Amino acid sequence: MTAPRKPRTPGFEQELVDLSLLAVYLGLHMGGAAVDPCKGELHSALIRAGQRDDRLGLIGQALSGMPQAIVPFSRRMPDIHLAASLMDELGRACFRTEGSAVDAGYFVRVGSELRYVDALGDEPTRLPEVLDPFRTRALLHELFRWTDRPSVEVLDATQGDLLRLRPGTDRLVSLKVTPPARRELADKPIRANVSLLKVVPKPSSGRATLAPQVSRVALGLVTLVRDSQSLLMRHIAPEFLMEMHAAALATHSPERTLFLHVDLLDSQFLSPLPDLMHTGAITQGWWAPLRDISDGLGGSWRMTTRLPRSTAIALLQNAPWMWSDDLGEWVRWAWWLGQHKPSITPLTPQAA
C-alpha cells in the first residue's frame, strides 16, 4: 500500500496574498493581455468579499432591482458587491441607483439599519456615498489617461539634490507637484519617510520559486520640493545617504534587488533604486494615489481579499497606480517583474 502523497506547496506565483478590494475593483475596469485572463478571478474575489461583509442583506435587495419601488434600483454587479463591503466598513453611508433623474432610489445604512429611500419628497441624505457614479467614473477616466509611468532620476548630489521623482501625471490630487497658488503653501517643503529595501532571493524548491525575503536596510526623513512637474529630494541626513550608497555598493548582482519607497501623506511611491553613481540614471516604478482612490470609490484602500500573487503581479505590470499595503509584498511583486521583464502595456478602459 502506497503512502498518500503530500500536498504540493504552491509556488511563488500561486501563493495567496492580500489585495485591496479597491484595487480589485479598479482591475476589473482595466484591459490588456496580462490582466484579461485574471478578470474571472477578480470578479469572484469581489463577490466573495461582498457576501462575507453583507450582514444587512444589501446584495439581495440591490440585485432584485427593487421592482416595486417608484424609482427601481439599478447598478452593475461589481458595484453592488463592493458597496456591500464598503457600507459594512463605514456603518453610515448611502448607495445610489445609477441614471436616476431625481434624488431618490438609494440604500441608506445607519448603524444596524438598512433601508431603501424611494419617496421623492424626502430630504436628500447627507451621509457619505460609496461608489458615487460621477466621482467613480471621473477617477477611472483619469487613471486610464495616466500613460507616462512614474520614475525616479539620479541628480548631481553636489548641487544639493539627490533624486527627482516624476509621477507621470498631475491630474490626480494625490500626485500634484505644481506649486499651490498661495505663496505660503508654494514654498512649504514636503516631508516624507524614505526607505531602501533589499530583496534576498531564496533557493528554488524543485521547479517552484520561493518568495524572497525583504528587509529594510535604510530609513530616513527627507524634504521634497516641487520643481517642473516633479519633486526634488533634498536635505538628506548624511547617515541615510551613506547607508544608501553602502547598500548599493554591496550589491554586486546585475539583478535589481534594491528598491526605493517614499511614503507621502496621500500617496506611496515604489521603484527599483537607480544607479546612484551615475547622474541621469532613471528607473520606472509605481505611484499609488491613495487619496484619489479612496475619495473616488468612497471607502478605505485597507480592506482586502485573498488572491493568487500572479493576479496582483498582472495588475502591477499594467497599472502605474498599483500598490500593496504590505510593503514587503509590494516589493516582491516588483522584484518578480524585474526578473521576468514582461512588456508593460498601456491601459485600455473596459466595462466590468
Distance, in Å, from the CA atom of 254 to the CA atom of 258, rounded to the nearest integer, reads 11
- Mean pLDDT for the stretch of residues 301-312: 94
Whole-angstrom distance, CA of residue 127 vs CA of residue 14: 41
163 pLDDT above the threshold of 50: yes
pLDDT at res. 253: 63
207: which strand partners?
none
pLDDT of residue 351 exceeding 60, the answer is no
Q: What is the pLDDT of residue 282?
A: 96
pLDDT tens for 252-275 read 666 679 999 999 989 999 999 999
Kindly tell me if the per-residue pLDDT of 7 is higher than 50.
Answer: no
Of the chain, the percentage scoring pLDDT greater than 70 comes to: 88
Given this model, what pLDDT does residue 205 score? 64
Q: Is 220 exposed, middle or buried (0-12, 13-18, 19+ CB in 10 A)?
A: middle
**pLDDT (0 to 100) of residue 347:** 43
pLDDT at 227: 87
For the segment 66-80, what is each residue's pLDDT rounded down to a tens digit? Answer: 999 988 999 999 999
pLDDT of residue 185: 65
Best CA proximity match to 197, nearest among 176, 217, 167: 217
More reliable by pLDDT, 312 or 251: 312
Per-residue pLDDT band for 29 (boundaries 50, 70, 90) equals: very high
pTM for the whole thing? 0.90
Across-strand partners of 286? 270
pLDDT given for residue 286 in this prediction: 97
Of 97, 89, 146, give the one whose Cα is nearest residue 320.
146
pLDDT digits (tens, 9 = 90+) for 99-156: 877 778 899 999 999 999 987 666 677 889 999 999 999 999 999 999 899 999 999 8
Query: Which range, 158-162, 198-202, 207-211, 212-216, has the best average confidence (pLDDT)?
Result: 212-216
* Whether the predicted pLDDT of 18 surpasses 50: yes
Q: According to the model, what pLDDT value does residue 346 have?
A: 44
pLDDT at 251: 77
What does pLDDT average to over the chain? 88
Instruction: Collapse the DSSP code of 247 into the 3-class scheme (helix H, G, I; strand E, B; otherwise coil) and give the result.
Output: helix
Determine the pLDDT at residue 122. 65
**Full 3-state SS string of 141-165:** HHHHHCCCCCEEEECCHHHCEEEEE
- pLDDT-derived band at 208, boundaries 50, 70, 90: low
Strand order from edge to edge, sheet including 190-200: 282-284, 151-154, 161-166, 231-234, 213-226, 190-200, 258-263, 268-272, 286-288
pLDDT, residue 349, reads: 46
